[in-house]
């Protein structure tokens, strides 16, 4: 086994790849469900991105540590137990010490458990790689996921509600006085799908590696 | 060791489940006191904010003692019964038959004005919704309302805990003359002159309807009590009106 450092070029690719070339949402099309559900406003999107960051990195490390012990026939069940335990633990700690954050997050607890990205990374990466690499992979993928979430939420909140992170941007700019109106369509789920679609389109037109052979 | 043997698989699953269960239950037990404290303070904070007193969670305890003068437990005939008002779990009460329920009522005094605070509990789209509505001493005019929810959709139904949704309740009336009207959350918006309706939330109709149902169901339970205390209130206000008339007369004579 090669003894390259944790921050070697190859390992750094684990961090940077999911941001663009191998983005979990726009390229692998995983985790779409949560991307649609919680991108109405920026704040929940940011909270969700952070929680997935914690859960995915820790779950990746835990599963990677156990990778030689897990019987392959029940591995998916093991993943689910690890993820669910982590999520509940995080939720309980938040409820006790940062109650406000936990109220914001409680809606998404269930969604984190069912987030396909987490199961996908555990199965595809953590089961075959040492903990250090698995941790970087977890970080990279949750960044890739978080970026898309935040970009989608940015447009949906700005165009749908005229606010950003709850701050009434458009009202302060005086756009309403000029006859501008919020687009109510943006806060409904279909527009999340369209926004993600536009992102995928833009990404593919820009990144040549993603253009498929005819 | 062969990790694919049946016995190993069973053993692994059993041990894993026991470890995880122990971990989670000890975390839950250890953290429970902190969580309960947060929930209690939040309830006090919500009760206070329904009568217009805004505070952070740490200040709620002290202000609660200052402003909440009376805590009553009622039955659905309007009689007072024994019990601890604050500890009533509405989630359990609303499931009982109307006759078996106990109803909490908080009476607060802010700047010399008496206000009646009624706790609410109902169903939203995904889970429970709850809140507090405060009535002025005519038992008709709404002074304020706060709502919260467990799991409504962020940006849609979840907006019921925002001032945008709650503020319009202030000044509405739950009675039209003698007739009980409650307050309705109206899809597409309530008219300016609608005294018994407020604007609904676009995309959050089921949650909005949940609020309407909750208000109707809960307020109805308190009607016998309102009818009972209303005469005394009116008499009180007549007396105070007479007092001022008397003083005016006195000053004219003098």
Digit-coded pLDDT (tens) for B139-166? 899 999 999 988 888 778 888 988 889 9
Q: How far apart are CA A113 and CA B10, in angstroms?
A: 24
pLDDT, tens digit (0-9, with 9 covering 90-100), for B160-196:
988 889 999 999 999 988 888 889 999 888 887 888 9
Do the domain assignments include residue A201? Answer: yes
The mean pLDDT of B106-130, rounded to a whole number, is 91
In a domain, A101, yes or no: yes
Q: Identify whether the C-beta of residue B67 lies closer than 8 Å to the C-beta of residue B51.
A: yes
pLDDT for res B7: 92
The B residues from 139 to 158 touching A (CB cutoff 8 Å) are 150-156, 158
| Cα separation, B254 vs B251, whole angstroms | 5
Q: What is the 3-state secondary structure (H, E, C) of B68-102?
A: EEEEEEECCCCCECCCCCCCCCHHHHCCCCHHHCC
CA dihedral A96, A102, A106, A108 (to 10 degrees): -130
| Distance between start and end Cα atoms, chain A | 38
Report DSSP state, residue B7: H
Query: Is A98 within the bounds of a domain?
Result: yes
| pLDDT attached to residue A1 | 42
Domain assignment of residue A185, yes or no: yes
Burial of A201 (0-12, 13-18, 19+ CB in 10 A): exposed
What is residue B235's predicted lDDT score, i.e. its pLDDT?
59
Domain that holds residue A158: 24-206
Identify all chain B residues contacting A71, using CB atoms and an 8 Å cutoff: 3-4, 8-9, 12
In a domain, A5, yes or no: no
Decide if pLDDT at B138 tops 60.
Answer: yes
Judged by phi (left if over 0) then psi (alpha if -120 to 50, else beta), residue A206 lies in alpha
Residue B1 above 70 pLDDT? no
Taking 3-state DSSP, the helix, strand and coil percentages for chain B, each rounded to the nearest 5, stand at 50, 20, 30
Is A104 a residue whose pLDDT tops 70? no
Number of domains in chain A: 1
Residues near A39 by beta carbon (within 8 Å), at least 6 away in sequence: A45, A149, A152, A153, A156, A192, A195
Binary contact (B13, A74; C-beta < 8 A): yes
d(CA B207, CA B157): 5
Region B86-108 average pLDDT: 88
User: What is the per-residue pLDDT for B20?
Assistant: 94
On whether residue A10 sits in a domain, the answer given is no
Closest chain A residue by Cα to residue B42: A99
pLDDT of residue A2: 47
Check residue A212 and give its pLDDT.
72
Mean pLDDT of A16-42: 84
Q: How far is A38 from chain B (nearest CA, A)?
A: 7
Which residue of chain A comes nearest to B29, CA vs CA?
A: A92
Query: In chain B, pLDDT over 90 holds for what percent of residues?
Result: 41
A139, A15 contact by CB (below 8 A): yes
Mean pLDDT of all residues in B67-72: 88
Q: Is ipTM > 0.85 here?
A: no
Is the residue at A28 inside a domain?
yes
Per-range mean pLDDT, top range of A19-33, A37-51, A95-109, B12-26: B12-26
The answer to whether residue A16 is domain-embedded is: no
pLDDT for B240 equals: 59
Please tell me the distance in Å from B35's CA to the nearest CA on chain A: 5
User: For position B249, what pLDDT does the model report?
Assistant: 53
Q: How far is A141 from chain B (nearest CA, A)?
A: 24
CB-closest option in B9, B23, B28 to A71 = B9
Spatial CA neighbour of A91 closest among B151, B239, B165 = B151
pLDDT value for B192: 77
């Amino acid at each position: 086994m090669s003894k390259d450092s944790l921050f070697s070029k190859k390992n750094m690719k684990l961090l940077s790849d999911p941001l663009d070339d191998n983005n979990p949402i726009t390229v692998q099309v995983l985790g779409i469900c949560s991307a649609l559900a919680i991108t109405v406003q920026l704040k929940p999107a940011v909270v969700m991105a952070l929680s997935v960051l914690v859960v995915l990195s820790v779950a990746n490390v835990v599963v990677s540590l156990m990778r030689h012990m897990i019987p392959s026939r029940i591995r998916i069940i093991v993943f689910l137990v690890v993820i669910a335990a982590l999520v509940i633990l995080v939720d309980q700690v938040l409820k006790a010490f940062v109650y406000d954050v936990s109220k914001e997050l409680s809606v998404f607890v269930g969604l984190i458990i069912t987030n396909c990205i987490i199961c996908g990374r555990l199965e595809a990466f953590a089961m075959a790689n040492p903990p250090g690499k698995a941790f970087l992979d977890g970080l990279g993928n949750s960044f890739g996921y978080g970026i898309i979430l935040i970009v989608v939420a940015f447009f949906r909140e700005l165009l749908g509600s005229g606010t950003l992170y709850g701050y009434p941007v458009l009202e302060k700019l005086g756009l309403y006085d000029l006859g501008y109106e919020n687009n109510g369509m943006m806060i409904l789920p279909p527009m999340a799908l369209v926004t993600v679609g536009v992102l995928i389109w833009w990404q593919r037109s820009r990144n040549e590696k993603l253009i498929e052979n005819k | 060791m062969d990790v694919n043997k049946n016995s190993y698989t069973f053993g692994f699953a059993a041990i894993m489940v026991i470890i995880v269960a122990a971990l989670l239950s000890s975390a839950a037990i250890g953290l429970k006191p902190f969580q309960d404290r947060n929930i209690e303070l939040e309830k006090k904070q919500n009760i206070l904010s329904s009568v217009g007193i805004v505070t952070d969670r740490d200040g709620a305890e002290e202000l609660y003692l200052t402003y909440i003068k009376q805590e009553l437990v009622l039955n659905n005939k309007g009689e007072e019964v024994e019990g601890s008002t604050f500890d009533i779990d509405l989630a359990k009460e609303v499931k009982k038959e109307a006759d078996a329920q106990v109803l909490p009522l908080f009476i607060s005094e802010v700047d010399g004005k008496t206000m009646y605070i009624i706790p609410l509990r109902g169903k939203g789209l995904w889970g429970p919704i709850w809140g507090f509505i405060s009535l002025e001493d005519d038992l008709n005019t709404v002074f304020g309302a706060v709502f919260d929810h467990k799991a409504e959709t962020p940006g849609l139904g979840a907006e019921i805990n925002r001032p945008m949704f709650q503020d319009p309740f202030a000044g509405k009336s739950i009675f039209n003359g003698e007739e009980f009207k409650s307050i309705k959350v109206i899809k597409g918006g309530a008219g300016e002159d609608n005294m018994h309706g407020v604007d609904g939330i676009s995309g959050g109709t089921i949650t909005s309807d949940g609020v309407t149902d909750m208000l109707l169901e809960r307020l109805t339970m308190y009607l016998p009590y309102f009818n009972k205390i209303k005469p005394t209130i009116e008499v009180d206000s007549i007396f105070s009106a007479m007092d001022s008339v008397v003083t005016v007369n006195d000053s004219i004579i003098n």
